[in-house]
Amino acid sequence: MRHVISPLDFSVEEIGQLLALADEIIANPAAYAHKCAGKKLATLFFEPSTRTRLSFEAAMLELGGQVLGFSSASSSSATKGESVADTVRIVQNYADIIAMRHPKEGAAAVARQFARVPVINAGDGGHLHPTQTLTDLLTIHRLKGRLSHLTVGLCGDLKFGRTVHSLIRAMLRYEGVRFVLVSPRELQVPAYIRTEMEAAGADFVQVESLEEHIAEMDVLYMTRVQQERFANVEDYLRLKDVYILDAAKMALAKPDMIVLHPLPRVNEIAHEVDDDPRAVYFRQALFGKYVRMALILTLLEEAEARPGLARAELPAASDTLVCRNPHCITTAENGIRQRFVQTAPGRWRCAWCEHDV
């Protein structure tokens, strides 16, 4: 049995199997209509969502299972001070599998340590969003026919965009992928992602102009500037409309480039682009339901075949180091020990949110 906290919780081969299963479900949904009969999915959403929560719930219902949960922290006992750890310890008595979204980075990793049922990270702050990545990979694979030998442009808020971090992590493992990272300097990818790219020997450039680079791309992944992660509103207002993909920019792109967006969109894609056949973000959201069906089915089958959790080995707790990331789950809840992974001599990374200390 396993949890899904990061896209790296699956090998490349396992991702291939999940995408193939999603393809099979798309081709023959009736064959899967009762596969999860008698099983329950709990959706614990401490942060707003349209696509992720509803596609998880639709996925479980279309597998013949049932769903329960909450859609905001305000309707849960988090408002009374209940911790993530206690919440999952309770909910695992009511459900066979948990999908959890939380505004704090590392919250899903904390949940994993306390759950006896599989926990799926449905987004933890600005950190990771692995099921969006599965959605993105399924979309790219179905529409481009491959996950290797692609130039992938990622544009917008690459600092706080958890979908960006997850997609880079996943695609680093495919051969011949070149990344064009388009963002203002203040919204470049965080250090831990850049370090991973360098360590993997990735082919990447960090640029500020979308117009100058769009012609190189096979895939353009647009992102929203994440208002909810900014410390002050002035910075958000200054940066929010830096990139707007419109018909004029699309005219510079390859005829077979595809445009993805995890959504929701604000201003970063003009509505005139929606009618361009290269704009695939609404189909992408549909693929998200099918890949989540494949994921739920796979995790529940694994749990039945191999009961007992592979609980992650945690590094030793530290009484001297403190994670300074203001978005880390350790800043929000008492009782979570500070733990760090050594990444190089004298360099440490928070075991929960993965920010360098």
Please pick, from the candidates 6, 49, 121, 223, the single residue that binds ligand CP as defined by CB under 6 A.
49
Residues from 116 through 135 that contact ligand CP (CB under 6 A): 123, 132
Q: How far is the CB of 262 from ligand CP (least distance, A)?
A: 4
Catalytic site includes residue 52? yes
CA distance readout (Å), 158 to 67, 74, 236, 262, 274 = 33, 29, 14, 13, 23
Stretch that binds ligand CP, among 34-42, 44-52, 242-250, 327-335 (CB under 6 A): 44-52
Q: In terms of CB distance, is 99 or 210 closer to ligand CP?
A: 99
CA distance 140 to 284: 9
Residue 50 binds ligand CP (CB under 6 A): yes
Under the criterion CB under 6 A, does residue 284 sit at the interface with ligand CP?
no
> Taking CB under 6 A as the criterion, which residues in 254-273 touch ligand CP?
262-264
Residue 177-216 contact track with ligand CP, rule CB under 6 A, x = bound: ----------------------------------------
The residue from 40, 53, 101, 159 that is catalytic is 101
CB of 50 to ligand CP, least distance (A): 4
Region 233-252 residues binding ligand CP, contact defined as CB under 6 A: none
Q: Is 51 a catalytic residue?
A: yes
Annotation says 80 is catalytic: yes
Catalytic residue of the set 2, 102, 112, 129 = 129
213 is catalytic: no
Q: How far is the CB of 164 from ligand CP (least distance, A)?
A: 12
Question: Of 51 and 194, which has the nearer Cβ to ligand CP?
Answer: 51
3-class DSSP string for 25-44: HHHCHHHHCCCCCCCEEEEE
Q: 263: phi > 0 → left, psi -120 to 50 → alpha, else beta; which? A: left
| Positions that interact with ligand CP (CB under 6 A) | 49-52, 123, 132, 262-264
